[in-house]
Amino acid sequence: MNNLSPLSQEAVTLPFLSAEGIAKSFGGAQALKVATLEIAPGEVHGLVGANGAGKSTLIKVLAGLVTPDNGTVHLDGKAVAITTPHVATELGMSFIHQDVALVPNMTILQNIMLGVEKKTWAGLVDWKAIARDVAPIATRIGIRAPLDAKVATLSTAESWLVSICRALVRKARFIVMDEPTASLSAAECEKLFEIIEDLSRSGVAVLYVSHRLDEILRLCDRVTVLRDGRTVANFARYELNRAVLVEAIVGHSAAAETVIERRRPQGAPLLTVSHLVRYPKVDDVSFDLFRGEVLGIGGLVGAGRSELMHLIYGADRLDGGTMQLEGAPFAPRSPNAAYRAGIGLVPEERRSEGLLLTKSVAFNLSLGNLRKLVFSPLLPMVSSAKSRQMALATVAELAVKTNGIHAPVGSLSGGNQQKVVIGRWLRRNPRILILDEPTRGVDIGARGEIHRLIRRMAADGMAVLVVSSEPDELPDLCDRVLVMAEGRIVGELAGDAITRNAIVAASYGQQVAQEGTVKS
């Protein structure tokens, strides 16, 4: 997989954008060595690679956020110097990142028009005239909320539509979408795909960056693969399948699927959940969790899975129901109470809820373990030597890729950030560890490492609850799977019954039953 596949004739003769030989170093470490990218007008072009492969750096070069050490960028056959984000915008380029950059307290229309010259009347901004111009574009991409609605009231999917509308108002000919479906439901993803296909037909080029290979295979006309800062492959649609992409990303054929030895629950339950209710998201949920078990919680986005985990962790109050921990009543009134009872939580939003991004790797690992790191009970001050020793041991044990334990944790890739959050709890050694979307935004290699770590923790006797909206993940990992829909557990799978199709079928089962009732 060392040679580039030949580009299509159209891409060779009619490139809208081409970036050749892009190289960039940060602090002596090379993020990009030789990156090459060509995109034709109206093309949906996939960009894939493991965390740390250089995707983000290449995007920052195109966005004018960083200046490359070497290489050139051409637009319409002319060399351009993209020195600032404003220059990129003037050239018809727009960038929509995973964390959508909108101002919550401003209206949809105001966000769309940020940085754009506005019509005026009598020296004042003529918002009515602007709204008349923007409305057809907003309607085209499916914005249903009034343009004077505050962005703070929108869902994640609606915020994405606002960002796309802003790009079109600026007459963008090239839009970069970074992990656009990470927080979207299946229905919202379908709507986004329709919009992307419509943009392509109208001549807008889209660079689609995602770890979800099924989406890449469905949407993209061509795909560029980065590995270790280099462009290692470029595929046309007809050349693509999942195995070919995985091999290009990791650098070798994918290993045969690991067959896990599923554990059967034994002994008394460690945690018993009985008829839990939290209106309107959790409705009469009951289950048992056993020592050494990996219990998956599947279902669609919005099914109530994260809300259920928050109840167990004491982050939300119960409206009804009870819990028992090792046979004793358990009713945590705060996360601190759950923490002291031996329960840990790796949250879904690791960057905003699980890490202090500007602080070091060592600092983030020490959080939650400060009692272990003091000089002595009589001298309750954190020992820098103990903190350093623990950080070095954790980084080595989990193979965290970092420039050092004093590097800001925000500089790490997504997979390595997740390892830091899990490593913090590994040192705490909780009885129960809750992992909410543990591999979201993580590349295929880091995903396998995290899965092996989870199985190892369970083998050591820890009970692990894994929430995942990806039905392909749970069969590779779990001893049992509970499927939620509309706040209820609608299915339980064990052994060979844990399959992707079974999880998907159960996720929609309650809705199908309701539809059947209505029809009858």
> How many Cβ atoms sit within 10 Å of the Cβ of residue 276?
22
What is the tens place of the pLDDT at every residue in 426-449? 888 899 999 998 887 777 777 788
Mean pLDDT over residues 456-481, rounded?
A: 90
Rounded CA-CA distance 92/392 in Å is: 46
* Structure confidence at residue 380 as a pLDDT band (50, 70, 90): confident
Number of H helices, E strands in the chain: 17, 24
Q: How confident is the model at residue 274 (pLDDT cuts 50, 70, 90)?
A: very high
Q: Which range among 74-78, 256-260, 290-294 shows the weakest confidence by mean pLDDT?
A: 256-260
When pLDDT is averaged across residues 350-368 and rounded to a whole number, the result is 86
Q: What are phi and psi of 288, to 5 degrees?
A: -115, 150
Average pLDDT of the residues in 312-326: 94
* pLDDT tens digits, 482-504: 999 889 999 999 988 898 878 87
Q: Picking from 140-144, 270-274, 404-408, which range would have the lowest pLDDT averaged per residue? A: 140-144
Of the pLDDT bands very low, low, confident and very high (cuts 50, 70, 90), residue 114 is confident
* Cβ atoms 333, 514 nearer than 8 A: no
Q: Angle at CA 234, nearest 5°, toward 231 and 235? A: 155
pLDDT value at residue 29: 60
Token pair in block for residue 91: 């050239």
Q: In the chain, which segments carry CATH 3.40.50.300?
A: 1-92+173-256, 269-342+430-520
Residue pointed to by tokens 């090459």? 36
Predicted local distance difference test score (pLDDT) of residue 252: 63
Average pLDDT score over the chain? 84
- 339 phi, psi to nearest 5 deg: -60, -45
The pLDDT of 360-372, averaged and rounded, is: 85
If pLDDT is split at 50, 70 and 90, which confidence band does 2 have? very low
Bridge partners, 277 (sequence order): 283, 320
pLDDT of residue 72: 92
pLDDT: which is higher, 235 or 374: 235
How far is Cα 331 from Cα 291, in angstroms, rounded to an integer?
Answer: 20
pLDDT at 429: 86
**pLDDT exceeds cutoff 50 at 209:** yes
Contacts of 385 (CB under 8 A, 6+ apart): none
User: Mean pLDDT across the stretch 96-112?
Assistant: 84
Least trusted range by pLDDT, from 29-43, 161-175, 191-205, 299-313? 29-43
Select the more confidently predicted residue: 328 or 256: 328
Q: What is the chain's Cα-based Rg? A: 25
pLDDT at 288: 96
Q: Which CATH code fits 1-92+173-256?
A: 3.40.50.300
Q: pLDDT grade, residue 254 (50/70/90)?
A: very low
CATH number among 3.40.50.720, 3.10.100.10, 3.30.2320.50, 3.40.50.300, domain 269-342+430-520: 3.40.50.300
Per-residue pLDDT, 144: 87
pLDDT (0 to 100) of residue 509? 57
Distance CA 127, CA 103 (A): 18
pLDDT for 115 equals 78
pLDDT top residue among 415 and 201? 201
Percent of residues, the chain, with pLDDT higher than 70: 91
What pLDDT does residue 433 have?
95
